[in-house]
Structure formats: structure tokens, C-alpha cells
Structure 1
Amino acid sequence: MKSIYSKMLLLLFISSSVYSFAWGLTGHRIIAEIAENHLSGKAKREIKKMMGQERLAYWANWPDFVKSDTTGVWKETSTWHYVNIDPQTDFTAFERNLKAQSGASLYSQIKTLSAQIKDEKTSEKDRKIALIFLIHMMGDLSQPMHTGRSEDLGGNKINVTYFGDKTNLHSVWDGKLVDSQKYSYTEYAKLLDIKSQDEVKQIQSGTLENWLYDSHQIANKIYAQTPDGSKLGYDYQYKFNDTMERQLLYGGLRLAKVLNDLF
């Protein structure tokens, strides 16, 4: 987060097609678009001061794009995108083990970035960078395999085929399930964002720890139903499409909650 703002626009346009990213381009943009539709008036004004005219979806994938950087400036951010944790018996055990972890992770950095954005001593440039990472990482939070297990790197070591193509479980959830629906991110956001105000409030309730546990429980179900060597196709889409769409919607609504609270 040091004097690096000048690299941002260049890196934003680096091609990311050869990488496996959380939710992929479409998923992160869906989440950001849903969040934008639920921002308070004050949050919209404050974010516009920081970000300019671009919508949140414009920046939603930038923290993945910078993985292409070869200077090492962003190397420390690689662990910010996930929190690996073994299956826990209940929320109390999960929260205890989550808080006992050391080092930078999705859990620790969401809190750190939020604090940086609220801190008046944070420079304008670094606040913007922190906000961009926060937008992205709240999306990562809702991708179940980003709360997966360290032994298989969140499903990266679980080999599967998807409609005959060799891939891994993490990649299936990163983008293949989303992209197979063939919607643009604006179309998908509009289709998913149909909950009532009361339903939205319910989804946005709880803590960061509750939300991570929510994703963790879904990850456990995915692991149970997708062993190494699985051959995935239409039946897998049918089984998990509702779950995938739920997570996209919840990611967007919960991102909106975090941003509204910050501003």
C-alpha cells in the first residue's frame, strides 16, 4: 500500500484469462453490481468521491489482476483472498479456531481494510486501494472454496472433469458454474436481486464470523459431494446452481452492508 497508485490503471487492463480467480470476472462483477444497488445515499456520495465515476463492478477484479505484477509489490496480498480451516463441529468451534489463526487472511484483512478506510489518517490513495480490495474480498468471502481446507488448498488439489475438461474443484466454483449460465454480469445481478426489504435485512444480519461460517458450511457440503476424480456436468449444475446463485446474491448484499456501515 505504498506509493503504488500510479500502477493501478495499467495493471487493471492486464489480461487475466490464464488465471483461476475467485468467482472469475463475471461473479465478482455480479456481486459488486448487486452491492451498488443497495448502497445508502451517503455511501454512494462518499464512494464517488474516492472512486470517481466508475461503478464498483469496474474495480471488482483488480485485486486479482495485480497477481500479474512481477515487481513483488503485491506479493503480500496473495493470502488475503482466503481463509483455510478444517471442518468444525459448530459455530463456536469455528469462531474459536478462526480467531486463533495467525497471519494475514481473508478474515483478518477484511477487518484491517475496513479500519484503514475509516481511519482519517489513511492517505486518499491508500483508502482507495483499501476499498478496492475490500470490494473484491467480500466477494471472495461468499465463494465457499475460499473458506475451504488447507490440505487441498481450497479444492485446488481436487481434480475433476467439467463437461469432459480437466480442471479442479476450486476452478469449477470460481467461474465455470457462473459462466455456464451465459448471462452478462448486469443481467445476472438483475435476475438475482429480487428479495424483499425484510429478506435483505435478514441476509445482511450477523457478523463477519457468521458470514464466514455460512460459506464454510457450504464448502463442507461441496467437499462431501465432489470427491477427487468426479465427472461433473449437467447433474452437478442442477444440484448446485441454486447454491451458487445464493452465494452471489448474499455476497452482494453483505458487501453493501459493510460499505453502508463504513460510510
Structure 2
Amino acid sequence: MKQFKKLFFLIAILAYLPFNVSAWGITGHRIVGQIADFYLNAKARKAVKKVLGTESLAMASNWPDFIKSDTSYNYMGSWHYVNLPEGLDQQGVFSFLDSFKEANVYSKIPEMTAILKNKNASPEAQQQAMRVLIHLVGDLHQPMHTARKDDLGGNKIQVSWFGQRSNLHRVWDEALVDYQQLSYTEYANAINHPTKAQFQAWSHDSLKDAVFQSYLICNDIYKATPAEAKLSYNYNFKFVDVVNQQLLKGGIRLAEIINRIYG
């Protein structure tokens, strides 16, 4: 009985510990991949099929999270985000990215593109690089993956979501997307309507621009979400358009990166 009580207590504690889960959750990453697939040119589509076989961008998108249970991939842990200090302007963010040495989402996206461009890279290396690239571009567009180091990207900020205990990071990873109650294909079809100006801007933004845009949104999220906030309908109403735009941006930019890789 004592052992059972100890086990129950440990499980209860773990349930409330902050942890990094997949940016956007399974559905969100697949939405980004599904949208990107729509904008691939013929050459890139053929190359992706050679790399991934029958696996779509959407279905490949969650591989870097699925393999987290394998400790041999622990070296990828910091690749999913870049922690930025508060109070930076655009040049401050750019300078931080240039000087920051730890492996992060900003530094690893170019590394994955380099592997995919390398004709001497093995099929296995290219497949892994493609899966990681798809995922990291999605990660970059989840604003809490450009958040503060001291609160673990919002994981330490406890909130409630429709009365259920959660944390700020998890709300943005999964809760907001899942609340829309759409499959990833339905969701992608619902939001994939950029204006011509949006498409031109997003597809030509630099990687630094993408980081800075996520960082600005992250700052707004912090201001709107104090610790112990009770989040429900109003929070969804306030931020659902932001969520949708970030998912759409991620898909368009991912397609542009892949199209450029295969020229």
C-alpha cells in the first residue's frame, strides 16, 4: 500500500511539472506540412518524394517529437526553440541570433537545408534532415518557442484552460489548435487563403525576420497571460487569428525553403 501511495504521489507531481511538448502538437505540425505541400513546385515535389518515399510532409512533420523517447536523439533537445531575452528590438534579436552559440531552431534550419543540398549525403541522412526541417520550421512559428529561458518558454507559467490545469506553453502547443476541432486537412483547407501581398511577404522574409515576428507575438502573449490566468472562450477569440496566421506562415515558408533547396 505504501508503494502504491508513493507511485500515485509521483504520478500526481509529474502531471503538473512543466515540460516541452511538440510545438503546435501533432495536429499543428501536420497543418504546416499540409500547407507546404500545396505550394511545392514540380521539381521540389519530385525531390521530396525521392527523399521521403510515400511519407507526406504532413506525416513526416512529427518525427522529431516521436523519437524523443529514444535517448540517442537527446542531442536534438535544444533544436526545437531559441530562448530570447525580453526587451529586444529587431536589431537586438538579430544580434542575439548571430552571437548565440548553443544549437537552436534558428541555427539548425540552415544545417538541414545544407544536408538536403549535399548530393553526397546518404539517403538516410537526407530523410532525417527533411523530417527535421519540416518540424523545425513549424516550431519556429509557434511563438512560445522564441520565449524566455527563465520560465522554460512558458512551461513554468501555470494557467487553467477551460478549468483544467495547464501551462502557457502547452496552451499554445496544443490547446488552441485542438479547440478548433478540425482534422489537419480540414484546418489547412480552412486557413490556406493568403492574400497575394501576404504570400509575397512571407515567402521572401528571411529566417531572422521569421524569428523576430514570432518574438513580437510572444511578447504580446506574455502581456495577455499572467500566471494563474483562467483561459477559455475570450482567450481563443483573442488569439485564434494569430494561431491561424502563424500556421499559414509556417507552411508557406517551409514550401519556399524546400523549393529553393531543389532550385
Aligned residue runs from structure 1 range 102-181, under 5 A: 102-181=101-180
Paired with 1:197 and 1:121, the residues of 2 have a C-alpha distance of 38
Paired with 2:77 and 2:20, the residues of 1 have a C-alpha distance of 13
The offset of 1:19, in angstroms, is 7.8
Paired with 2:178 and 2:172, the residues of 1 have a C-alpha distance of 10
Aligned residue runs from structure 1 range 174-213, under 5 A: 174-213=173-212
CA-to-partner distance for each residue in 1:57-77, whole Å, 9 max, x for gaps?
A: 1111111000112xx210100
TM-score (norm: length of structure 1) = 0.90
- Please identify the structure whose Cα radius of gyration is greater: 2
Paired with 1:247 and 1:195, the residues of 2 have a C-alpha distance of 12
Say whether the 8 Å CA contact 1:80–1:109 is kept in structure 2: yes
TM-score (norm: length of structure 2) = 0.90
Aligned residue runs from structure 1 range 68-79, under 5 A: 68-69=69-70, 72-79=71-78
Say whether the 8 Å CA contact 2:20–2:155 is kept in structure 1: no
Say whether the 8 Å CA contact 1:91–1:213 is kept in structure 2: yes
Letter in 2 for 1:249: L
The equivalent of 1:227 in structure 2 is 226
CA-to-partner distance for each residue in 1:149-173, whole Å, 9 max, x for gaps?
A: 1010110000000000001000000
The equivalent of 2:79 in structure 1 is 80
1:63 maps onto 2:64 in alignment = yes
Paired with 1:57 and 1:206, the residues of 2 have a C-alpha distance of 23
The equivalent of 1:94 in structure 2 is 93
> Partner of 2:150: helix, strand, or coil?
helix
Letter in 1 for 2:179: S
Question: Which stretch shows the higher mean deviation, 196-205 or 231-240?
Answer: 196-205
The offset of 1:89, in angstroms, is 3.4
CA-to-partner distance for each residue in 1:228-253, whole Å, 9 max, x for gaps?
A: 11110101001111111111111111
Letter in 1 for 2:88: T
CA-to-partner distance for each residue in 1:21-64, whole Å, 9 max, x for gaps?
A: 21001100000000000001100001111111221111111110
Letter in 2 for 1:99: D
- State the 4+ residue runs in structure 1 displaced beyond 6 angstroms: none
The offset of 1:198, in angstroms, is 4.2
Say whether the 8 Å CA contact 2:82–2:146 is kept in structure 1: yes
The offset of 1:87, in angstroms, is 2.1
1:20 maps onto 2:18 in alignment = no
Against the structure 1 CA distance between its residues 170 and 21, is the aligned structure 2 distance closer, same or farther, given a 3 Å change threshold? same
Letter in 1 for 2:182: Y
Paired with 1:215 and 1:231, the residues of 2 have a C-alpha distance of 24
Paired with 2:89 and 2:102, the residues of 1 have a C-alpha distance of 23
The offset of 1:112, in angstroms, is 1.0
